[in-house]
Structure 1
């Protein structure tokens, strides 16, 4: 379930006066309103037409529908979807694609038609990262009288900040550690003019010795931050920053050639932290050292030692040197996929559609959305959220494929719910079946932790029939329904309700493992998932009348 919040506004359709005051009428959408629908008239029409249905469904292969066999299928599906192999089904993981392909195979095996989008079950859409003007894609070091040297992106440098413009060619200044500290009198920018130029800046801070000369540990930490260095460079008018790892912070490991390993940063620094967009790259130390040696005739390590020894700057312009780069104007993103399968209906109401949905994505290795207290890059398997709902979706597909249906049933496994309901939003923007032919949407999100037989159902006020039908369906599975009338909420039913479609969201409640690495399959109530599946089957019998 997403942590995205929605405003709450609903009408309880069980109250005829409230429904009438809200302008809600059976079988009608009123423009601009959250409409309720009723199926009573359609139910009579469908019952009349049912007797005329001549087509026979193909015989389904025998299947064990005992409670134990159903639970075994649910357990097998949910354990795979929440396994470490799928890496938490996050947006940046291969596991998200593995999950989509798994669901597609299960839809096909159940007998659903899945050649819906250019012969595939995949409703694809692109998710873009935050608005991005561009990253430095090429970098060239020029020295007057010498051949320019080109650095390879990813191997020799990484781009750390998006920037405007398409290209730059700038004079270069070595600015030591890029620190200005008025309290101690230390200033790497003293005596050099960096306006409109690129500055080479060492990472971290000068070595202070055992007595901590000039800087306290707190001050050194503050000045060592990359954001502080960038803000200081911008304050002095620098037009680009070339970061270089200082000698003391190279890793202790060595390459096959015996050189110290110099890992490149792979981050995207945000302008939201008070930084103006400008080219910021992290270069291999070997390139910067070679450049300074060639222009100044000095060794980079010797310059560092001089700064450490004197606690004074060793900044200098690099005469005749320029750095040139090109910026690719790009909006990086990723193709993600809703997985869709359909069972067609027969008879007078065959063109009407019931949607059953569940999101299959989760948080990957944490990051945004995670409530974990540590940042250990742990896999968040999302067994309850929402491998549980996806497993129930698959079991419903298997069961409903074996029954006659008067209405079309569309099964959708949504992607990118955790980021803000993107999968369901994209579907309602580009529906496979027109929304005016969609009579209801049932959403399964976090249905794996049934406790004390209590099942919360949101959206009970979005159609007049829901309370009665739910009570009837729940009695067969001995579940206690906790009704919530509102059709809004932080899950994939909300975009459908926004379009006036009656919805229900089934939910077994929050728990301490929500959005944490501990949300694993062994904590799930598999018999509870089977009972919820049975309730859905009972409800769908009424909805499909």
Structure 2
């Protein structure tokens, strides 16, 4: 993300010069009735929140296969609509407790209230006892950026406490060692657990803070409790930590105080170059987690619109069909229906398939509804690592995760702008529509690394992830910000994310028209977009394309 400040108008003169040669020659009409009816259906209680491995999955994937066929697609996986994705479901039993001794007073952190935790290891019981506790700042090891929070440290068998986001997340603007306000992958919780495991830690706990995490504790609680899905890999994930989890901010402050440390001062020092990890001398952490283990096959749903003249060159549309299922057990409404996230994006796959099928493109367009995004991008990662269509022959892609339901906007936000040459191709489309490109209003959230486009980007395929911005035609930026803040606070990953008759679909339609125009240009043209020079994914793409 360090290149996010690059002016987009000067990224690709060649791409910008061909403004209309491959633009759609017909009036684009995205079928609103398809979007509305499918979004409403998939977010009813009958689908039980569309969790992988449930009856809700069966209902969802069968619905999508029928709708793909009706739209004019062909089965996308060697005659089948489905790609099996081997998952293991791990469900913590009871209420595990994190116990800390050896400090000013013993501490006992309760499940849900003070912390959440689980294990990636495929074992019915895991535990760690009397594990030394170490504060490792942001838990980053980035030699190319001259930063290593684990320098000179041996954390094998220890419990590491980690801050969320990057060291420079409070910097205004996008300049800095880690992209300033714009999050890099080093700021994502997935990276922090991966690095802790590489360092040999027994357990890793991230301190929750609402602003740098970009969501409240309620989101952590809903997302991390109940069944957790992982790819079912050889070895049972025994190379991972015994336990991963989150601590509330208050619990972390109690932990630091028990070690005679001040949370605020240590957090401030962790953001400065030269920070060295701080062992919490004398503190010992212990925990046992009993889990129910179930192996299951989930499925990606794949349809293809074969190209007329270059069927072996592929464009991808992706959206995740899954959500959190029964995320609030014991409450009046237990179901996280996931209407916005992501029944809207999944319905858009069908609507766009109907639109593209009116005129077959030169290249093939593949439509993939992926599973287990909410569990860590598992379905898209499985496809990217086991592609039906070679990634070296995959031109580019567009991912759709939560459509804009606030209404038409005067601006469009490309998440991760400045990373790939797709930006240059997007600009003339926006200009023709009188829409300006705005910077990401929440760069600290790291959205580019939080949805399925990242699974493909990390293996070199350029992917666009964007949507209408916050400058609403009706209400301006203030109304747009208010809508976004209300959604994140009250509906994101909560039972309240339900189909609303008050939604304004104009913004979603506008965004889908933009996706359609970009995809049509790519599908009927000769472009092979790449990542911009210096981007972390450029070398991967170059190697992939050189061997095609």
**Residue of structure 2 equivalent to 1:503:** 463
The structural deviation recorded for 1:126 is 1.4
The structural deviation recorded for 1:93 is 2.9
The structural deviation recorded for 1:456 is 2.6
1:533 aligns with 2:512: yes
**Residue of structure 2 equivalent to 1:520:** 498
**Residue of structure 2 equivalent to 1:81:** 42
Where 1:412 maps in the other structure, the secondary structure is strand
Alignment partner of 1:466 out of 405, 423, 426: 423
**Residue of structure 2 equivalent to 1:95:** 56
1:128 aligns with 2:79: no
The structural deviation recorded for 1:478 is 5.3
User: Is the Cα contact below 8 Å between 1:382 and 1:515 reproduced in 2?
Assistant: yes
Q: Distance in 2 between matches of 1:355 and 1:525?
A: 27
Q: Aligned in 2, Cα 1:478/1:387: closer, same or farther, shift over 3 Å?
A: farther
Q: Distance in 1 between matches of 2:46 and 2:66?
A: 17
Q: Distance in 2 between matches of 1:267 and 1:15?
A: 42
**Residue of structure 2 equivalent to 1:342:** 304
Alignment partner of 1:422 out of 361, 368, 378: 378
| 1:171-250 correspondence to structure 2 within 5 Å | none
User: Is the Cα contact below 8 Å between 1:487 and 1:504 reproduced in 2?
Assistant: no
**Residue of structure 2 equivalent to 1:389:** 345
The structural deviation recorded for 1:463 is 2.6
| 1:349-388 correspondence to structure 2 within 5 Å | 349-366=310-327, 375-376=331-332, 378-388=334-344
Where 1:332 maps in the other structure, the secondary structure is strand
Alignment partner of 1:432 out of 385, 388, 410: 388
1:542 aligns with 2:516: no
| 1:309-348 correspondence to structure 2 within 5 Å | 332-347=294-309
The structural deviation recorded for 1:95 is 1.1
Q: Distance in 2 between matches of 1:449 and 1:130?
A: 34
1:489 aligns with 2:472: no
User: Is the Cα contact below 8 Å between 1:496 and 1:503 reproduced in 2?
Assistant: yes
1:110 aligns with 2:89: no
* TM-score, normalised with respect to structure 2: 0.50
User: Is the Cα contact below 8 Å between 2:34 and 2:350 reproduced in 1?
Assistant: no
**Residue of structure 2 equivalent to 1:403:** 359
Q: Distance in 1 between matches of 2:431 and 2:15?
A: 22
| Alignment RMSD (CA, Å) | 4.0
In the comparison of the two structures, how many residue pairs are matched? Answer: 314
The structural deviation recorded for 1:459 is 3.6
The structural deviation recorded for 1:131 is 10
Q: Distance in 1 between matches of 2:456 and 2:408?
A: 30
Q: Aligned in 2, Cα 1:13/1:396: closer, same or farther, shift over 3 Å?
A: farther
Q: Distance in 1 between matches of 2:89 and 2:447?
A: 29
Q: Aligned in 2, Cα 1:94/1:487: closer, same or farther, shift over 3 Å?
A: closer
User: Is the Cα contact below 8 Å between 1:87 and 1:365 reproduced in 2?
Assistant: yes
Alignment partner of 1:445 out of 401, 407, 413: 401
| 1:58-73 correspondence to structure 2 within 5 Å | 70-73=31-34
**Residue of structure 2 equivalent to 1:228:** none
User: Is the Cα contact below 8 Å between 1:445 and 1:507 reproduced in 2?
Assistant: no
Where 2:350 maps in the other structure, the secondary structure is helix
**Residue of structure 2 equivalent to 1:226:** none
Q: Aligned in 2, Cα 1:350/1:460: closer, same or farther, shift over 3 Å?
A: farther
The structural deviation recorded for 1:99 is 0.8
Q: Distance in 1 between matches of 2:9 and 2:426?
A: 18
